[in-house]
Amino acid sequence: MPLAIITGASRGLGLALARSLARDGWALVIDARGAVELDRAADELGRVTEVVAVAGDVADAAHRGALIAAAGERIDLLVNNASVLGPSPQPSLELYPLAELERVYRVNVLAPLALTQLALPHLPDGGAIVNVTSDAAVERYEGWGGYGSAKAALEQLTAILAAEQPQLRVYAVDPGDMHTQMHQEAFPGEDISDRPPPEDSVPGLRRLIDGTAPSGRYRARELAEVGA
């Protein structure tokens, strides 16, 4: 039974992907900061597959160690999905609180790298690392300087890791706009019901996870439409 670690899996894209993998017989280690939502997700997933839920913050070193310990000797897939948006509404860089920016970088850049460092000895040849990114990493959206620059840094780390670990499949994946809590926080007071659900991004992610596409940056919706 293959095993995946998915961070930020109590809701949104993380939970949608966890559901898809669970249906196909993957064992799961999942986390989230909110214990109540995480337990609810674990109860659901546990009816289908083996699942261990570890509540905590990926920015915390002890929590990252607990995730690796829960996974055991072999990790076939690591999905660094957990993220924070930063202040809502999003401030301009001129006014961005630096303490908040540090928090965004700790969670969105340093934590995925730190968890990857711990996971690498457990990943077999051909194993996969998926770092969930955003179009904000490559587009110049006003007010997205904190989140966007953090995702840009994550993408560069992903690209370099792929060059350094050619035996692995290392992906930066832009899932596209989604109707999620984080996306709503980015647009407070606006109606985002026209955004597609996170489930629409899962087929593209699965094409990468289940396939043999080379390491690189991908858009999940494009993969779902044309294949990989």
DSSP single-letter state for residue 136:
G
- Structure tokens that stand for 10 in this block: 């109590």
Average pLDDT over residues 88-94: 92
Domain of 81? Answer: 3-226
pLDDT digits (tens, 9 = 90+) for 6-45: 999 999 999 999 999 999 999 999 999 999 999 999 999 9
Nearest to 119 by CA among 75, 63, 166, 173: 75
Determine if the pTM surpasses 0.85.
Answer: yes
Domain count, the chain: 1
CATH number at residue 217: 3.40.50.720
Nearest to 184 by CA among 170, 165, 199, 197: 197
